[in-house]
Amino acid sequence: MKRRHHRGNVISFVTNGGKTTLAKNLQKHLPNCSIICQDDFFKPQSEIETDKNGFLQYDVLEALNMEKMMSAISSWKENARCSVVSTDRESAEEIPILIIEGFLLFNYKPLDSIWNRSYFLTIPYEECKRRRSTRVYEPPDSPGYFDGHVWPMYLKHRQEMQDITWEVVYLDGTKSKEDLFLQVYEDLIQQLAKQQCLQVTA
């Protein structure tokens, strides 16, 4: 019997770094691929705390229902186990792939054992602020919100990543969508090939 590993590939990012676009492009080209988006697990605005400046604290783990997200990941893993047909040789196309994309993935310890490959998209302050200014949020950003909350929280979480013990592939978010896609796609294909070679036959 083959031992199959149903693990996730993570794409994390600085806000407005392009991770959702990258994840969707990968899903289009990778067989048997699913996406779980951390943004889908924000708590209602009524449950979001504010700081002394009146800024809503969205860029913290407490603003997210991470238990619900973990439940979604567990459900995917169970479905992946049931959907893979046992064959003498498992092809790369048969390996279930889960892309988990979000902005606070490396800062949540229960996720540490899930990652198979980790990517972190980053862009400079000026470009990040420019991109965010073009987006429409609900609730909308209050004056000074980016400099008073969003960017400081990103720097704080980035500092916390210094304690990570596994490899993280850092991506330049200023590159074109096509270049980023090709970089990650080719890397994932290589990782899938390695995983196929490492399948254990008992």
* 55 within 8 A of 47, measured Cβ to Cβ: no
C-alpha distances (whole Å) from 56 to each of 21, 42, 45, 146 are: 26, 12, 9, 11
Catalytic-residue membership of 39: yes
130: how many CB neighbours lie within 10 A of its CB?
A: 12
The alpha carbon dihedral of 146, 152, 155, 156 has a sign of negative
72: how many CB neighbours lie within 10 A of its CB?
A: 16
- Two structure tokens written together for 71: 């439940």
- The crossing angle, in degrees rounded to 10, of helices 177-197 and 19-29 is 50
The values of phi and psi at residue 188, to 5°, are -65, -40
Catalytic residue numbers read 39
